[in-house]
Amino acid sequence: MGEKMHFSELDQYLFGQGTHYDIYKKLGAHPTTQGRKKGVYFAVWAPNAQSVSVVGDFNSWDTEANPMVKAGPIGVFEVFVPGAKIGDLYKFFIVGMHGEELYKADPYGNEAELRPGTASKVADIGDYKWKDSTWMKKRVEFDENTDAMSIYEVHPGSWRKHAVENEDENGFYNYREFAHELAKYVKDMGYTHVELMGIAEHPFDGSWGYQVTGYYAPTSRYGSAQDFKYLVDYLHRNKIGVILDWVPGHFPKDAHGLANFDGTAVYEHQDPRQGEHPDWGTKIYNYGRPEVKNFLIANALFWVEECHVDGLRVDAVASMLYLDYGKQDGQWVANKYGDNKNLEAIEFFKHLNTVVLGRNHGTVMIAEESTAWPKVTGKAEDDGLGFSLKWNMGWMNDFLEYMKTDPYFRKFNHNKMTFSMTYAYSEKYILVISHDEVVHLKCSMLNKMPGYPDDKFKNLKAAYAFMFFHPGKKLLFMGQEFGQLREWSEERELDWYLLGEENHKDLQSFVKTLLHMYKKYPALYKADNDPEGFEWINADDGDRSIFSFVRKSPTKRNNLLFVVNYTPVERSDYRVGVPKKKQYKLIMDENGLLEKPQTFKAESKECDNREFSFAYPLAPYGVAVFTY
C-alpha cells in the first residue's frame, strides 16, 4: 500500500525557517502510489492565493478538475491526482489575491516542455542508476587550495551541432551524445573540469541561460533530466569534474515564471526599488524571506547532491551584494545603517556556502564577483562570504588590455602584467577568459591580438603561456583554445573547420601542452595561495617587455623558471638572473615541448640583481620554461 505523501507540520516548520534542505522532494510533482492508485502528488507554495488547482494532460487542462488543498498556514497547496503519470505536461492555475487568473509553471518542476512551450513535465528523477562511485569517493579529498584545476567553459548548444535539413530543427546534441564527444575532447586536451552554461531551464536562447524559469529542471533543449544525469555520470567516469553556472541574482518576468507568482510579490521584493534591475529588466529575489532563501539553497543542494555536480559558479555576485548595483539615485533603498550593502544577501551567501560545502566535502562554490568586496573567499565565521574561489576579473581586464596593445607601446603598460601579484593572495583566485570576453563586439581572443595574422598567433601563445604560469586556477572559454576567429554566438557551432589550417592546429596543440604541463608540475598549482610559491626574477624589464619569474614546488623538486618576450624583437644574447647556481633545463619554448631539452649552467655573473645567471637566445614573442 502506498504511503500518503503530505506536506507535514515539520515540513512547514523547516520551510518557514528556511532550512528545509531537501524541500524539492516535497514541493513540485512526485510520481507515487496512494492506497492502490498510481498517480502524482503535486505541491506548490502560493501564500496569498485565493485558490490553486493543477491542470494538465491528465485532466484536459480543466481548472476545476483537481483543486488543491491548503496544508497549514504557510501557504502550501497540495493534491494527489490518480492517473497522472510521468511525461504529462502540467501547470498550476492560481486565482490570485485580487482575483487574477494565473497559469504558472512549477517552480520545483524537474522537467519542462521544450520552448516555446512553457508547461512543466512530470518526471521521475530518483531512479537513475549512478556509476560514478569511484569519482564520488575520491571527490571528498579534493582541495581547491592545493589541487590542479583547469576549466573548459562550454555552452552545450553551440559547442557542436548536427547538420540540419530544415530551419525548424536546432541541431542540438542530446546530453548523452554531448557527454561522449565532450569527454573525449576534454580528456585529450587535458582540462580537469568543464563548466556548463545554460543548464537550468530558460525560455530565451539569447539569454544563454542567465534568465532562468526552471531552477530545478535541466533544460529540455538537450533531453531529459535522466539524460542530464547521464552526462554528469559519464564525465565523472572519465575523471572530469562538472561545474554549473548558477543564477541566484535575478529572474525574468515571463508570465509562467516566478514573478508575481500568486498575484503578489512572492519570490521578489514588492518595492520595485528593491525588487527590480532597471538595466536587465528582471526581478531581484527577496533574500530576507526564509522560504525564498530555502528555494535557492535547496536548489544548490539539488544540483550537487541529486545530480552529483562538483561545484557551482555563482553568477553576478556583485549585483546581489550592492543595493545600488546598476541603479541611479532614487532607484534603490539603503539598508538600516544607511549604506548600500545588501545585508540579507550577505547572510544568504554565508548560509548557502556553509551548508553546501559543509555537507559536500570536495565540492566548490565559485564567485563571479567583479568588485573589491573583501573576503569573498574568507570563512563565514571570520565575516567572509565563504566561497571556495573567486573569478579574478581584475587580472583579466589588465591582462587583456596589455595583450591588445601594440608591442611598441607595451613598455608603457608594463605594470598591467605585474599588478595582479600585489593582491594575488587576498583571495583564492581563478584566472578567467570567459564567454563574456568574446561577445558583444569584444572580438575573439585571436582577434584581440595586434599585428598581422602570424603575429596574432604568436601573441596569443605568449598570452596563454603567461596565464598558465601565473598563480591561480585556470578557465578558458570554448573555441579560444584553437583560435576561433569570429565572436561566439549561441546560434551556431564553433568554427571547428579552422583546425584544417596549420596555425590553428598549432595553437590548439600549444594549449594542450600547457594543460598537460599544468597538471604534471605541482609547482604550478600546489602553492597558488602561498606567497612562498612565486618569485619575480625581473618584474621591471619594461623597456624590453620581458617578464621572468619562478614557480616553486613545495617538494623543492621540479621548480620552474618562466620567461616571456612580448615584442617581435629577438634577444640573441638574453641573460636571466637565477635563484641558485644550478643547472637549468629548457623543456619548452614558443613552439611547444622540446624533443631534446637543453641544459644551461648558471654562472657567477650578476644579472637581475642576483649573483647567478645564464645566457640563452630569446626569440621574438619567445616563451621559455626551464626546470631546476
pLDDT in tens, 535-572: 999 999 999 999 999 999 998 889 999 999 999 999 99
Phi–psi pair at 43, nearest 5 degrees: -145, 140
- Nearest one of 416, 364, 418 to 391, comparing CA atoms: 364
Give me the catalytic one of 227, 276, 291, 315: 315
State the CB neighbour count (10 A cutoff) for residue 18: 21
Global pTM value: 0.96
Q: Which three cell numbers stand for residue 338?
A: 544607511
Element (H, E) at 343: helix 343-359
State mean pLDDT over 578-585: 95
**Rounded to an integer, what distance in angstroms lies between the CA atom of residue 106 and that of residue 112?**
9
Question: Active site includes 132?
Answer: no
How high is the pLDDT of residue 581?
Answer: 94
What residues form DSSP beta bridges with 245?
313
How high is the pLDDT of residue 2?
Answer: 56
Mean pLDDT of the chain: 95
pLDDT in tens, 245-283: 999 999 999 999 999 999 999 999 999 999 999 888 999
The full 3-state SS of 394-413, as one line of letters, equals: HHHHHHHHHHHCCHHHHHHH
Question: Active site includes 491?
Answer: no
| CB contact at 8 A, 362 and 139 | yes
- Nearest one of 51, 55, 76 to 66, comparing CA atoms: 55
How high is the pLDDT of residue 1?
Answer: 43
pLDDT in tens, 340-366: 999 999 999 999 999 999 999 999 999
192 band by pLDDT with thresholds 50, 70 and 90: very high
Q: How close are the terminal C-alpha atoms of the chain, in Å?
A: 71
**Which single residue is written with the C-alpha cell 579552422?**
498
State mean pLDDT over 27-46: 96
pLDDT of residue 527 exceeding 80? yes
State mean pLDDT over 5-12: 94
pLDDT of residue 167 exceeding 80? no
Q: Which domains, and CATH codes, for the chain?
A: 9-121 (2.60.40.10), 147-391 (3.20.20.80), 531-627 (2.60.40.1180)
State mean pLDDT over 96-102: 95
Q: Give me the amino acid identity at 477.
A: F
**Rounded to an integer, what distance in angstroms lies between the CA atom of residue 97 and that of residue 453?**
63
Give me the catalytic one of 132, 195, 368, 398: 368
| CB contact at 8 A, 279 and 332 | no
pLDDT of residue 86 exceeding 50? yes
State the CB neighbour count (10 A cutoff) for residue 274: 18
pLDDT of residue 82 exceeding 70? yes
pLDDT of residue 129 exceeding 90? yes
The number of residues in the chain equals: 628
**Which single residue is written with the C-alpha cell 573576503?**
375
State mean pLDDT over 12-24: 97
| CB contact at 8 A, 192 and 475 | no
Phi–psi pair at 298, nearest 5 degrees: -65, -30
